[in-house]
Amino acid sequence: MTKDRLYIFDTTLRDGAQTAGIEFSLEDKISIAALLEELGVDYIEGGYPGANPVDTEFFSEKRTRRATFTAFGMTKRAGRSAANDPGVQALLNSRADAACFVAKAWDHQVRVALEISLEDNLDNLRDTVAAAVASGKEALVDCEHFFDGFKANPDYAKACIVTALEAGARWVVLCDTNGGTMPSEIRDIVGQVLAVAPGDRLGIHAHDDTGQAVANTLAAVEAGVRQIQGTLNGIGERCGNANLITIIPTLVLKSAFADRFETSIDVARLERLTSISRAFDDRLNRAPARQAPYVGASAFATKAGIHASALLKDFSTYEHIPPESVGNERSIMVSQQAGKSNLLTALARHGIELAKDDSRLERLLATVKEREARGYSYDGADASFAVLARRVLGTLPDFFQVENYRASVERRHNAQGEEVTVTEAVVKIRVEDELLMSVAEGNGPVNALDLAMRKDLGKYSSRIEDLVLVDFKVRILDGGTGAVTRVLVESRDGTGERWHTIGVSPNIIDASFEALYESITYKLLKTEAAQATTT
Amino acid sequence: MTKDRLYIFDTTLRDGAQTAGIEFSLEDKISIAALLEELGVDYIEGGYPGANPVDTEFFSEKRTRRATFTAFGMTKRAGRSAANDPGVQALLNSRADAACFVAKAWDHQVRVALEISLEDNLDNLRDTVAAAVASGKEALVDCEHFFDGFKANPDYAKACIVTALEAGARWVVLCDTNGGTMPSEIRDIVGQVLAVAPGDRLGIHAHDDTGQAVANTLAAVEAGVRQIQGTLNGIGERCGNANLITIIPTLVLKSAFADRFETSIDVARLERLTSISRAFDDRLNRAPARQAPYVGASAFATKAGIHASALLKDFSTYEHIPPESVGNERSIMVSQQAGKSNLLTALARHGIELAKDDSRLERLLATVKEREARGYSYDGADASFAVLARRVLGTLPDFFQVENYRASVERRHNAQGEEVTVTEAVVKIRVEDELLMSVAEGNGPVNALDLAMRKDLGKYSSRIEDLVLVDFKVRILDGGTGAVTRVLVESRDGTGERWHTIGVSPNIIDASFEALYESITYKLLKTEAAQATTT
């Protein structure tokens, strides 16, 4: 049996930008687009060119290699042509491959919010889609409030679809804009829509206001639509959009869907799912949801109790899918075997080859687990893992030690009566027998400490010249009295390589110091290898 | 038309106790049971008497007034009678009104995990239920792995149901134990089960492993079951159980259910929903999920943008239910795209009424935009917005000024040669004509500064006693040389209110100081209002 193709349309960078507390920079958008390409979605809706400077700049270049790069915007206003509508032209002149126009499909909304006639609304839709197609772009139409509109006036809602398709739109997307529709209603209404439009021209855009965005999306697919809109980790306005990180594994792994449909995401890409989901949360500087379906840290965790002993007899009983199929892991330590083989893979990535029965492997595993229990997380701090591994394995060169340090911040009024803040750090470093003291001012204690530490590393100084601190993130774990601070530092050097190090301590400065120290150590390890090769 | 009665069965205290990181004390259980009675559920499953001391003690008294107080346990073991099974007797001798026994309904599981014959399993079930009924308790049976079992051997799964009902069980609950079943499968299988059991003797117990626990529960209700099992805020093993806080408002407010069914929860109780959900998170010492359906802080939040202007014209357009029906509230966030009307709404939420043409509105708008361009983001920092608004409007009382401060961190070796880090902060604060100097040590410079600042606020000290710093987040904006640090602080006080403040500076300490300072100011503003009312 040939399978129907489902298309995944990601709107993390557009509708996801409506999330409370989220504001994407250009750098964020570029980095998230790369994650989406890694995941393998078909469409990346990148924003709304013309609406704000970040989005306009994002669309000044083609940002995808594989996915259809899609710009969002409004249909033209009444009383002017598409050619004279600056909003529409901003989309058509962008470097997007496709343009997705939002159009109201609820008669009440057209009258109340747009204050135009129902016919004018259809004209605007028709002319806008035609202009996009004429400019060589693929056209899509988001029918806003489609389901509420259909309940109020099914003929008008259907007329919007037919108008868009006749004007040349590749897809018309049925949007449950306020998120209040039930799966049974979705099924019923999609069934009626199929009388005027084929399912392979229809999409679904669901919101999670009743906790059913995923179910609504899947119900629409079962009923006939073939394009799915959603976001990474379900970010979005109010309760969020349909969560693609939850939907994709269901489509790929569950026979109810996998037997009937195929997507652009194969089982190999699916194994990257957990890491992509967590990298996205890292970018947003928020803690991953532990209970998230498929990718959460607890998704395959079983507490010792009535289930654990049964689980030991037969994993399939309490796991609806194998955790490794989505790159996640079981969190009962059943055998050290699973842990060891992961560790060997990670070590090999850093060029460390170890035999399976090397006793140091056991020690490293125990050390990693003990540190993760204290708040370290080596998932996002590969360079710290490399440093830790060499330390435990006894192969870390003794580059330098920081004997002590001091950082101070003082805010006071200067002689002119202006408020000034002065930050200073002093470090005492030992490189072999040499004792080096450095002092530096910075625009914060971490910056001052970083500058002081790198000011003079004796014979190593030349090897860290091109080291740049790119990003610095802080998270408080377990708020309350037992709180510890986790600092993640991202570094880069002249080769373009980026690496991440981690520090954990109740004291933010100590945690920062640890991450900075490990970043320098990692850089020295890198150049050590280079030096070894050149000699 | 008479409506069918749906019964709500809460298992927060039993299955919810399987959540990673959650362990209930007796006090927790008593307090959560009170919340559940306030909500108005029909059954409270309180735990597993005999399995651990807390649960045994919890069941040594009758803990509910209205709900059926339910104990959980296993069916008797093979080779002994129910009267001689200590596990069964612990339930029957407890003060529970009802006993819910778990029984395996998947032939594979009976053979592999229990290692008994299929017939022995049915005998154990029959005898256990009969013993419970004979002892005067209402009997329920949880059919573990029911859906997987039905797919493998429908006759055996159905035999479990029939055996339980014939032995006198009031309810048989169909459990999707590993959470992997799709709504369409639930519908189909429940339909087949109705051939051997009436819907008003059947329950549904769903898990969220594919993000569809709510949809699976509602699909089962549509298909015919009349009892719903779930937990507060969806806590539970792995990805959690079906979230009653999400399901209940859908049953009460959405016509697809409200027209056909009635529950024990009326519209008046429903207005307590948000407060019950948040009180439960407080009890667990975790931050409420902002995006939670119905009750999340963002559930009715709209960012200024394409939707906000339409929202102002007609709330029903972008809100699937009135927020006050679940005790939640609308929030329109202030952000870069903010216009005057959004600002007025935001001000009104803080009790500040301003005329549309007040010239100060223009000034406030300009200030917000200018500060957001520098890295502030008021949509996640409502309390800072309130403080800023009053400052610009000239209505911020002159509580206190920090004349200067100093924070220092020093890592050195102590007399014993151990590495120690000492952190200290000194602040000089002016309260009217009084100059107050305080010094404090902390486990980091921000903590030390916070403690020093709150140590002595003169006449305001008593008003900030119940202020607690709950969370602290740091983000570097635009990494590189022009980087600024954004700090978000979450605070809470004795009333349970949580608020967020923001600080932005190239210096992390200055940014933290600003957010802390504004949090204290907001708390003083709050108590100012209270003082005004009491005088």
B242 near B249, Cβ under 8 Å?
no
First to last CA, chain A: 61
pLDDT at position B479, please? 46
DSSP A231: B
Which residues in chain A touch residue B237, judged by CB atoms under 8 angstroms apart? Answer: 301-303, 307
- Residue of A11, A14, A23 for testing the chain B interface, max B β-carbons within 10 Å: A23
A95 near A60, Cβ under 8 Å?
yes
Q: Among B18, B180, B243, whose Cβ lies nearest the Cβ of A211?
A: B243
B358-to-B338, B344, B354, B361, B368 alpha-carbon distances in Å: 17, 11, 7, 6, 16
Element (H, E) at B302: strand B301-303
Cβ–Cβ of A423/B210 closer than 8 Å? no
Compute, in degrees rounded to 10, the torsion defined by CA atoms B441, B445, B451, B452. 80
- The rounded distance, in Å, linking the Cα atoms of B212 and B206 is 8
Cβ–Cβ of A178/B320 closer than 8 Å? yes
The alpha carbon of residue A89 is apart from the nearest alpha carbon of chain B, in Å, by: 18
Written as six digits, the tokens of A352 are 């460390």
Q: Which among B442, B409, B511, B473 is positioned nearest to A449, based on CA atoms?
A: B409
- Residue of A295, A318, A443, A453 for testing the chain B interface, max B β-carbons within 10 Å: A443
pTM: 0.76
pLDDT at position A334, please? 34
Which residues in chain A touch residue B472, judged by CB atoms under 8 angstroms apart? Answer: 474, 476
Q: Which among A321, A276, A234 is positioned nearest to B210, based on CA atoms?
A: A321
Cβ–Cβ of B238/A291 closer than 8 Å? yes
| Strand spans (E) along B105-250 | 138-144, 171-175, 202-205, 227-230
Confidence of residue A335 (pLDDT cuts 50, 70, 90): very low
Residue B77 CA from chain centroid, whole number: 37
pLDDT at position A344, please? 81
- The rounded distance, in Å, linking the Cα atoms of A289 and B234 is 13
The alpha carbon of residue A530 is apart from the nearest alpha carbon of chain B, in Å, by: 27
Instruction: Identify the CATH class of B353-389+467-535.
Output: alpha beta
Cβ–Cβ of A256/B185 closer than 8 Å? yes
- The rounded distance, in Å, linking the Cα atoms of B182 and B151 is 13
- The rounded distance, in Å, linking the Cα atoms of B31 and B34 is 5
pLDDT at position B348, please? 86
State the CB neighbour count (10 A cutoff) for residue B412. Answer: 14
Residues of chain B with pLDDT under 50: 336, 479-481, 535
**pLDDT above 60 for A535:** no
Confidence of residue A533 (pLDDT cuts 50, 70, 90): low
DSSP A441: E
Which residues in chain B touch residue A470, judged by CB atoms under 8 angstroms apart? Answer: 479-480
pLDDT at position A365, please? 85
Cβ–Cβ of B219/A183 closer than 8 Å? yes
Task: Give the pairing of strands B171-175 and A202-205.
Answer: unpaired
B404-to-A85, A420, A441 alpha-carbon distances in Å: 55, 10, 19
Which CATH entry fits the domain spanning A7-265: 3.20.20.70, 3.40.50.300, 3.40.190.10, 3.60.9.10? 3.20.20.70
Cβ–Cβ of B293/A256 closer than 8 Å? no
Cβ–Cβ of A404/B410 closer than 8 Å? yes
Cβ–Cβ of A219/B506 closer than 8 Å? no
Task: Tell me the helices (H) and strands (E) count for chain A, helix number first.
Answer: 20, 16
The alpha carbon of residue A20 is apart from the nearest alpha carbon of chain B, in Å, by: 6
Give the nearest chain B residue to A145 (CA atoms): B317
- The rounded distance, in Å, linking the Cα atoms of B55 and B46 is 7
Residue B112: phi and psi, rounded to 5, are: -80, -45
Residue A196 CB contacts under 8 Å (≥ 6 apart), including other chains: A158, A161, A162
pLDDT at position B59, please? 97
Boundaries of every domain in chain A: 7-265, 401-451
Written as six digits, the tokens of B28 are 């927790």
Residue A292 CB contacts under 8 Å (≥ 6 apart), including other chains: A233, A245, A246, A277, A299, B239
Which residues in chain A touch residue B208, judged by CB atoms under 8 angstroms apart? Answer: 291, 293
Crossing angle (nearest 10°) for helices A508-534 and A382-393: 70
Q: What is the pLDDT of residues B402-461, one digit of tens each?
A: 999 999 999 988 888 888 999 999 999 999 889 999 999 998 898 899 999 999 998 999
- Residue of B231, B507, B512 for testing the chain A interface, max A β-carbons within 10 Å: B507
Q: What is the pLDDT of residues A424-481, one digit of tens each?
A: 999 999 998 899 999 999 988 988 999 999 999 989 999 999 998 887 888 777 644 4
Q: What is the pLDDT of residues B23-32, one digit of tens each?
A: 788 888 999 9
The predicted model gives A32-41 an average pLDDT of: 97
Residue A148: phi and psi, rounded to 5, are: -65, -40
Written as six digits, the tokens of A24 are 């994407």
pLDDT at position A479, please? 47
Same fold, B4-265 and B353-389+467-535: no
Q: What is the pLDDT of residues A218-265, one digit of tens each?
A: 999 999 999 999 999 999 999 999 999 999 999 999 999 999 999 999
pLDDT at position A291, please? 94
Residue B214 CB contacts under 8 Å (≥ 6 apart), including other chains: A210, A211, A212, A215, B206, B208, B242, B243, B246, B247, B250
Which residues in chain B touch residue A314, judged by CB atoms under 8 angstroms apart? Answer: 112-113
Cβ–Cβ of A302/B102 closer than 8 Å? no
Written as six digits, the tokens of B511 are 């940014």
Give the nearest chain A residue to B334 (CA atoms): A20
3-state secondary structure B213-254: HHHHHHHHHHHCCCEEEEEHHHCCCCCCECEHHHHHHHHHHC
Q: Which among A408, A507, A517, A503 is positioned nearest to A457, based on CA atoms?
A: A517
Give the nearest chain B residue to A112 (CA atoms): B313
The alpha carbon of residue A69 is apart from the nearest alpha carbon of chain B, in Å, by: 22
Cβ–Cβ of B20/A474 closer than 8 Å? no
Residues in chain A, how many? 535
For the ranges A81-95, A491-505, B78-92, the lowest mean pLDDT is seen at A491-505
Q: What is the pLDDT of residues A374-418, one digit of tens each?
A: 778 786 788 999 999 999 999 999 899 999 999 999 998 888 888
Buried (b) or exposed (e) across B363-375, using 16+ Cβ within 10 A?
A: ebbeebbebbeeb
Cβ–Cβ of B178/A318 closer than 8 Å? yes
For the ranges A39-48, A117-126, A335-344, B87-96, the lowest mean pLDDT is seen at A335-344
The alpha carbon of residue B12 is apart from the nearest alpha carbon of chain A, in Å, by: 15
Which residues in chain A touch residue B509, judged by CB atoms under 8 angstroms apart? Answer: 409, 421, 423, 444-445
Which residues in chain A touch residue B303, judged by CB atoms under 8 angstroms apart? Answer: 18-20, 237
Instruction: Give residue for tokens 């989309």.
Output: A91
CATH H superfamily, domain B4-265: Aldolase class I (3.20.20.70)
pLDDT at position A79, please? 87
